[in-house]
Amino acid sequence: MAHDVVLIPGDGIGPEITAAMRRVVDATGVDIAWQVVDAGAGVMEEYGTPLPPHVLDAIAQTGVAIKGPVTTPIGTGFRSVNVALRHAFDLYACVRPCVTLPGATSRYSDIDLVVVRENTEDLYAGIEFDPGSFEADRLARLLERNGDRSFRPGSAISIKPISAEGSRRIVTYAFDYARRMGRSKVTAVHKANIMKATDGLFLRVAREVAASYPDIAFEDKIVDATCMGLVMDPHDFDVLVLPNLYGDIVSDLCAGLVGGLGMAPGANIGETCAVFEATHGSAPDIAGKDIANPTAEILSAAMMLDHLGELEAASRIRAAVATTLEAGEQVTADIRRSLTGSEEGAVGTQAFADAVIANLA
Ligand code: NAD
């Protein structure tokens, strides 16, 4: 029976890399019934929202979606479609494996770590007040009345909620993932020395959860020290679990350790739905030129196939991507540059997908 999967092409390089991904998945022979729906700025005029109800209904029905990146206006405009999707389906766990792939030059070899980022709380919860707004002024007055704290007049305010329940389920997810995947250590990353209430709670809960997994080593690290540690020796890390904001930043840092954003796949997992997507954004600087690297999107599809129980097809895709990168001949400009120092001989996004498909056999 076919697997029903919602496909959101996204914008920028999204349509190009999702087309490449779809051809690779179809070439494995796994029967997928793709339901293609659009989200983002392109549908604003027609539906008055970047995430129309029929897109949400389709995902609720299939329980599985894969998407290309969607551009978010910076500072003003509509709220991120990605953040909205994570909230709509309570996709609380963002899982981003960072593995050194053949052919991807980086300062390190043999990196194999996984970032597990909490996706629904923290400064990304969307509780924000503009400078001079009624809410910001009221909050400032309330704090002044209740203690000795004050803000500079006209401050903008973002609120950072972290709950015991949210912390427990993400840390539990990280430990269960470590156990399932045969990994040996979980590092909880925080800034509890400064943010004693919020990060302090995350850390306390992480320690409690860790006590139930005596077979997995546990450590905690302050986020700044973690960044330095990752750059000095990433082999010290295995599974990292982080609140939302640190998770976002550290994911990109780890992607940089394994050859860049074009190489880093991801999954957003909830109790009833899962949405797969590359770590990178819509890369407007290279959109529409058939030069984007589709590796991260193709590897996100491999994670999706694992989720659907199509383990053999997922492994074949990973092996075919590795073979293509290792050969270094039919690869996109970013890979070619990191391999040879020059983009000469690079192929386009779709030609890279053709090479992966040829290597599936
Ligand atoms: P970006 O990840 O789009 O690009 C950063 C740099 O990496 C650019 O130089 C780009 O050319 C390069 N790059 C990214 N993906 C690549 C690929 N597959 N192949 C080759 N090069 C690649 O980050 P940005 O420029 O900060 O963000 C652009 C837009 O994407 C923003 O609107 C942002 O909000 C959005 N965004 C969306 C998602 C998502 O939909 N999941 C994630 C992150 C950012």
User: Residues lining ligand 1, CB < 6 A?
Assistant: 13, 69-72, 82, 261-262, 277, 280-286, 292-293, 296, 334
Q: How many angstroms is it from 12 CA to the middle of ligand 1?
A: 9
Strand duo 93-99 + 267-269: pairing:
antiparallel
Burial (Cβ within 10 Å: 0-12, 13-18, ≥19) of residue 239: buried
164, 205 contact by CB (below 8 A):
yes
Relative to the CA of 286, which ligand 1 atom is closest?
11
Angstrom CA distances, 155 to 101, 136, 147, 161, stand at 45, 7, 18, 19
Ligand 1 pocket: which of 280, 298, 300 to mutate (most atoms within 8 A of CB) = 280
124, 143 contact by CB (below 8 A):
no
Q: In this model, does residue 104 exceed pLDDT 80? A: no
Mention every residue, 6+ apart, whose C-beta is less than 8 A from residue 292.
Answer: 13, 16, 17, 262, 283, 286, 332, 349
Q: Which of 191, 199, 246, 334 is catalytic?
A: 191
Relative to the CA of 13, which ligand 1 atom is closest?
18
Mean pLDDT of the 222-240 span? 97
* Residue closest by Cα to atom 8 of ligand 1: 283
Relative to the CA of 280, which ligand 1 atom is closest?
2
The answer to whether 110 is a known catalytic residue is: no
Tens digits of residue pLDDT in 129-184:
999 999 998 888 888 887 767 788 889 999 999 999 999 999 999 999 999 999 99
| Tokens 């982080």 found at | 242
Give the pLDDT band of residue 79 (cuts 50, 70, 90). confident
274, 309 contact by CB (below 8 A):
no
Q: How many angstroms is it from 282 CA to the middle of ligand 1?
A: 4
* Residue closest by Cα to atom 37 of ligand 1: 281
* Residue closest by Cα to atom 12 of ligand 1: 283
Give the pLDDT band of residue 75 (cuts 50, 70, 90). low
Q: Which of 11, 199, 238, 248 is catalytic?
A: 248
Burial (Cβ within 10 Å: 0-12, 13-18, ≥19) of residue 61: exposed
Mention every residue, 6+ apart, whose C-beta is less than 8 A from residue 139.
Answer: 129, 157
The answer to whether 173 is a known catalytic residue is: no
Inter-helix orientation angle 349-360/311-327, to 10°: 120
Q: What is the pLDDT of residue 182?
A: 93
Relative to the CA of 73, which ligand 1 atom is closest?
32
Q: Where would I find the H helices in 184-341?
A: 198-210, 223-232, 244-257, 295-307, 311-327, 333-340
Inter-helix orientation angle 223-232/244-257, to 10°: 10
* Residue closest by Cα to atom 41 of ligand 1: 69
Closest by CA position to 97, among listed 280, 290, 238, 283 = 238
Mean pLDDT of the 251-272 span? 90
Q: What is the pLDDT of residue 77?
A: 66
Distance from chain centroid for Cα 257: 15
* Residue closest by Cα to atom 22 of ligand 1: 262
Average per-residue pLDDT for the chain: 93
Q: How many angstroms is it from 262 CA to the middle of ligand 1?
A: 9
45 CB neighbour count, 10 Å cutoff:
7
Tokens representing 249? Answer: 């930043």
Tokens representing 63? Answer: 């329980």
Q: Which of 31, 57, 224, 233 is catalytic?
A: 224
Mean pLDDT of the 187-206 span? 97
Least confident of 69-73, 148-152, 159-163, 331-335: 148-152
3-state secondary structure (DSSP) of residue 65:
strand
Q: Where would I find the H helices in 63-163?
A: 81-88, 134-146
The answer to whether 248 is a known catalytic residue is: yes
Q: What is the pLDDT of residue 52?
A: 93
**% of the chain exceeding 70 in pLDDT:** 98
